[in-house]
Amino acid sequence: MTRFDGRVALVTGGASGIGKATALRIASEGGTVVIADVQDDLGAEVAAQIEKDDGKSLFLHLDVTSEEGWTDAVAKTVDAFGGLNILVNNAGIGDTEPLEVTTLATWDKVVAVTQTSVFLGMKAAGDALKKSGNGSVVNISSMYGIVGSGVSPAYHAAKGAVRLLTKTTALGWAKEGVRVNSVHPGFIDTPILGDTDRAGLIAGTPMGRLGKPEEMAAMITFLASDDASFATGGEFVVDGGYTAG
Ligand code: NAP
């Protein structure tokens, strides 16, 4: 399979979980992948794994809350590989508490990493994506960008914002050769779950199991590829049935 031959992707949060699975999948289908993360050792390992399998990859340290960091990351990507076709805004963090005890500092941090990052990323990469002629942005929201859970106010607000930021950018760029879509995972077995009780998450999921990062990568790479050439502004739920009820 060579859906990504000649294409360059930048994946934030590419050192771990869903981002790592997405980076490996894009590389396995011929794409060049820039892995951008704050986890330097793990990110470099993913890039090395891709290179070992005869792919092309580069790890860049990027704190997705930094506007200067984004400018630098896009410039280094274009310098190294000649352009940018695909942006996967995947890095994110969550909060876990009820609104009453959530501090402003927690709110600001979660919104910066999970929401503002998507704005900064699309702003920094916009020109290069338009120049590519076949640009695709995949913004990772959450099922909790569509429905509530009772806690985690900052995470829900940020993921809901990503959903609509995606739609308005998709409309703005509809004739610019750049598609923009959001993906809404359910409970996926990655390090972000920490010590959350897996049994409770499984019990709440109609399919009766957690999702795998590779199952997210399948949807993300579909949207990143020409297979999704008429899809823009869409929200793609991959949640084992959670939001269907
Ligand atoms: P993950 O394994 O924790 O991966 C996220 C990566 O992003 C980590 O390497 C993390 O580093 C990095 N990161 C955090 N802050 C960053 C920053 N400021 N700049 C750059 N990178 C940063 O989590 P995941 O489950 O794959 O999550 C990927 C996305 O899917 C997130 O947006 C998440 O909200 C979303 N999602 C996940 C689930 C799920 O159940 N797993 C469900 C719905 C949505 P650190 O480990 O150092 O923070």
Q: Give per-residue pLDDT as tens, 59-105.
A: 999 999 999 999 999 999 999 999 999 999 999 999 999 999 999 99
pLDDT at 1 over 90: no
In a domain, 238, yes or no: yes
Does ligand 1 lie within 6 Å of residue 189's CB atom? no
180: left (phi over 0), alpha (psi -120 to 50) or beta: beta
Which residue has its alpha carbon closest to ligand 1 atom 2? 17
In a domain, 184, yes or no: yes
pLDDT of amino acid 12:
99
For the stretch 152-188, pLDDT in tens is 999 999 999 999 999 999 999 999 999 999 999 999 9
Strand ranges (DSSP E) for 147-234?
Answer: 178-185
What's the rounded Cα separation, in Å, for the pair 105 and 55?
Answer: 41
Q: Determine the distance separating the centroid of ligand 1 and the alpha carbon of 33, expressed in angstroms.
A: 18
In a domain, 230, yes or no: yes
Give the other-Cβ count within 10 Å of 158's Cβ.
29
Of the residues 89, 190, 243, which should be mutated to test ligand 1's pocket, given the most ligand atoms within 8 Å of the CB? 190
pLDDT of amino acid 209:
98
Query: Is the full-model pTM beyond 0.85?
Result: yes
Residue 131 pLDDT class (50, 70, 90 cuts): very high
pLDDT of amino acid 81:
98
In a domain, 3, yes or no: no
Average pLDDT score, the chain: 98
**Number of domains present in the structure of the chain:** 1
In a domain, 2, yes or no: no
Helix (H) or strand (E) holding 131: helix 117-132
Mean pLDDT in residue range 197-218: 98
Q: Which residue has the tokens 């990504």?
A: 4
In a domain, 1, yes or no: no
Neighbouring-strand partners of residue 56? 32
Q: Determine the distance separating the centroid of ligand 1 and the alpha carbon of 175, expressed in angstroms.
A: 31
In a domain, 99, yes or no: yes
Q: What is the CATH number of the domain that holds 108?
A: 3.40.50.720
Out of 70, 81, 155, 173, which one is annotated catalytic? 155
In a domain, 142, yes or no: yes
Mean pLDDT in residue range 115-122: 99
What's the rounded Cα separation, in Å, for the pair 80 and 136?
Answer: 19
Domain membership of residue 47 as a residue range: 8-244
For the stretch 18-60, pLDDT in tens is 999 999 999 999 999 999 999 999 999 999 999 999 999 999 9
